């Protein structure tokens, strides 16, 4: 097989990885950052880094685990490098409660039920915003991305017991925050 043919196959393989995993990476970054433009930018950066390092991907983990690890590292870099500027930008451009409530299944809810659901979403996001970076990441991977604890451990580089501890603390803080708002 020629080098050109191998490169074409590798490009097709990578394109299928992007197509299948982009929504999850974007959704994780969006739920973590709550800024559509920033989530889109970091999603693109994630796949750019992945493309640049595609030949070095050994397959020791799934492509999704590898991509999520890149996304988490990009998110950490962003938080570390631009913490104060990020908060100002987020407050100005964050997804509003109305937009977030659109993620909830509507069904046949009354107007009152829809308002209550929006309020609950706002309270949860407020509580999640108050979590430490690591707790927020573990919480979002578990409850937004619905990843198993073992997968979260692989993605974050933490032991599964540490993931459980962070998740437990995050849940406790979110629940306490929600109880305090009633």
Q: What confidence score (pLDDT) does residue 116 get?
A: 80
Q: Identify whether the C-beta of residue 47 lies closer than 8 Å to the C-beta of residue 11.
A: no
User: Which residue ranges form the domains of the chain, and what is each CATH number?
Assistant: 1-95 (1.10.1740.10), 96-182 (1.10.10.10)
The per-residue pLDDT for 115 is 82
- Assess whether pLDDT exceeds 80 at residue 26: yes
**How do residues 82-123 score in pLDDT, each as one tens digit?**
544 544 444 454 555 555 555 555 555 677 877 887 888 788
Q: What single string gives the DSSP state of each residue in 121-176?
A: HHHHHHHHHTS-HHHHHHHHHHHTS---HHHHHHHHT--HHHHHHHHHHHHHHHHH
pLDDT value for 166: 94
pLDDT at 19: 92
Please state which of the ranges 5-9, 10-14, 84-88 shows the lowest mean pLDDT. Answer: 84-88
pLDDT of residue 162: 94
CA–CA distances in Å: residue 13 to residues 3, 16, 44, 51 = 15, 5, 17, 11
Q: What is the pLDDT of residue 112?
A: 82
pLDDT digits (tens, 9 = 90+) for 131-182: 998 999 999 888 888 889 999 999 899 999 999 999 999 989 988 888 886 5
Write the burial class of residue 101 (CB in 10 Å: 0-12 exposed, 13-18 middle, 19+ buried).
middle
Higher per-residue pLDDT: 56 or 7:
56
């Amino acid at each position: 097989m020629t080098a050109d043919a191998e490169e074409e196959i590798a490009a097709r393989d990578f394109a299928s990885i992007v197509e299948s995993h982009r929504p999850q990476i974007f959704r994780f970054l969006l739920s973590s950052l709550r800024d559509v433009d920033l989530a889109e930018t970091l999603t693109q950066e994630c796949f750019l880094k992945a493309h640049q390092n595609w030949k070095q991907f050994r397959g020791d983990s799934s492509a999704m685990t590898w991509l999520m690890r890149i996304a988490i590292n990009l998110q950490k870099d962003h938080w570390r490098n631009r913490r104060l500027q990020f908060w100002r930008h987020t407050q100005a451009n964050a997804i509003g409660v109305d937009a977030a409530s659109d993620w909830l299944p509507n069904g046949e809810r009354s107007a009152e039920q829809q308002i209550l659901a929006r309020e609950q979403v706002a309270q949860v996001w407020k509580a999640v915003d108050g979590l430490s970076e690591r707790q927020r990441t573990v919480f979002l991977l578990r409850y937004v991305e619905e990843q198993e604890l073992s997968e979260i451990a692989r993605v974050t580089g933490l032991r599964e017991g540490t993931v459980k501890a962070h998740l437990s603390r995050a849940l406790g803080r979110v629940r306490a925050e929600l109880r305090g708002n009633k």
